[in-house]
Amino acid sequence: MPARLGNAGVGLRGFIAWWSAGLRAWLPLRWQHLLSANGDRVLLQVQGDGVQLRRQRADSVQDVAMLPLQVHGAADGRDPLAGVLADAAAELPRWLVLPASQGLRRPLLLPAAARERLRDMLAFEIERQTPFAAADVVHDGRLLGVREDGQLQVELVVVPRRALDAQMTQLGAMTATLAGVDLLDAEGRTLGVNLLPPAQRLQERNPWRVWNLILGAVALLALGLALAQVVDNRRAAADALQAEVASRSTQARAVAEQRQRLVDAVEGGAYLQRQRNGRASVIEVIDALSPRLPDGTYLEKLSIEGEQLTLLGLSNQAAALVGKLEGAPQWDLPALSGALQTDPRTRMDRFTIVAQLRGTAAEKSTDKQGAAGGAR
pLDDT digit string (tens) for 239-250? 999 999 999 999
Rounded distance between C-alpha atoms, residue 69 and residue 46, angstroms: 8
Instruction: State the pLDDT at residue 192.
Output: 86
Q: Hey, is 136 helix, strand or coil?
A: helix
pLDDT digits (tens, 9 = 90+) for 67-126: 787 644 444 556 667 666 766 567 788 888 999 899 999 999 999 888 888 888 898 999
Q: Hey, is 6 helix, strand or coil?
A: coil
> What is the domain partition of the chain in residue ranges?
3-205, 206-277, 282-375
Check: CB of residue 36 under 8 Å from CB of residue 58: yes
Q: Quick count: other Cβ atoms within 10 Å of Cβ 160?
A: 16
DSSP per-residue string spanning 325-357: HTT-TTEEEEEE-S--EE-TTT--EEEEEEEEE
pLDDT digits (tens, 9 = 90+) for 339-361: 888 888 888 888 898 988 886 54
Alpha helix (H) residue ranges in the chain:
11-24, 29-35, 87-90, 118-123, 126-129, 161-171, 209-277, 282-289, 321-325, 361-375
Instruction: State the pLDDT at residue 40.
Output: 81
Residue 160 clears pLDDT 90, i.e. is over it: yes
Instruction: State the pLDDT at residue 370.
Output: 45
Q: Quick count: other Cβ atoms within 10 Å of Cβ 292?
A: 15
Q: Which of 370, 362, 364 is nearest to 277 (CA)?
A: 362
Q: Say which residue, 187 or 25, is predicted with more confidence.
A: 187
- Characterize the bridge pairing of strands 349-357 and 331-336: antiparallel
Instruction: State the pLDDT at residue 35.
Output: 54
- Mean per-residue pLDDT for 216-243? 93
**CATH of the domain spanning 3-205:** 3.30.420
Contacts with 289 (C-beta within 8 Å, 6 or more apart), sequence order:
299, 302, 311, 325
Instruction: State the pLDDT at residue 305.
Output: 84
Rounded distance between C-alpha atoms, residue 114 and residue 122, angstroms: 9
Instruction: State the pLDDT at residue 307.
Output: 82
Residue 375 clears pLDDT 50, i.e. is over it: no
Instruction: State the pLDDT at residue 257.
Output: 92
Model confidence at 49, pLDDT cuts 50, 70, 90, reads confident
**What is the reported pTM?**
0.48
pLDDT digits (tens, 9 = 90+) for 295-307: 888 888 888 887 8
Contacts with 215 (C-beta within 8 Å, 6 or more apart), sequence order:
none
Check: CB of residue 288 under 8 Å from CB of residue 328: yes
The CA-atom distances, in angstroms, between 189 and each of 43, 100, 125, 183, 326 are 11, 9, 25, 8, 139
Computed over every residue of the chain, the mean pLDDT equals: 79
Contacts with 157 (C-beta within 8 Å, 6 or more apart), sequence order:
103, 104, 105, 139, 140, 141, 142, 183, 191, 193, 195
State the DSSP H helix or E strand holding residue 50, giving kind and residue range, or none if neither.
strand 50-56
- Mean per-residue pLDDT for 198-216? 76
- Mean per-residue pLDDT for 220-246? 93
Rounded distance between C-alpha atoms, residue 254 and residue 353, angstroms: 52
- Mean per-residue pLDDT for 161-183? 86
Instruction: State the pLDDT at residue 25.
Output: 65
How many CA atoms lie less than 13 Å away from 72 in the CB half-sphere? 28
Residue type, 249: S
Contacts with 133 (C-beta within 8 Å, 6 or more apart), sequence order:
126, 127
Rounded distance between C-alpha atoms, residue 63 and residue 137, angstroms: 30
The CA-atom distances, in angstroms, between 225 and each of 169, 201, 215, 264, 367 are 56, 41, 15, 58, 75
- Mean per-residue pLDDT for 174-183? 86
Q: Burial level of 369, CB count in 10 A (0-12/13-18/19+)?
A: exposed
Q: Which value, in Å, is the radius of gyration of the alpha carbons in the chain?
A: 59
Q: Say which residue, 257 or 202, is predicted with more confidence.
A: 257
Model confidence at 225, pLDDT cuts 50, 70, 90, reads very high
Model confidence at 255, pLDDT cuts 50, 70, 90, reads very high
Tell which CATH classification among 3.40.640.10, 3.90.79.10, 1.10.940.10, 3.30.1360.100 matches the domain 282-375: 3.30.1360.100
Residue 19 clears pLDDT 90, i.e. is over it: no
Residue type, 163: A
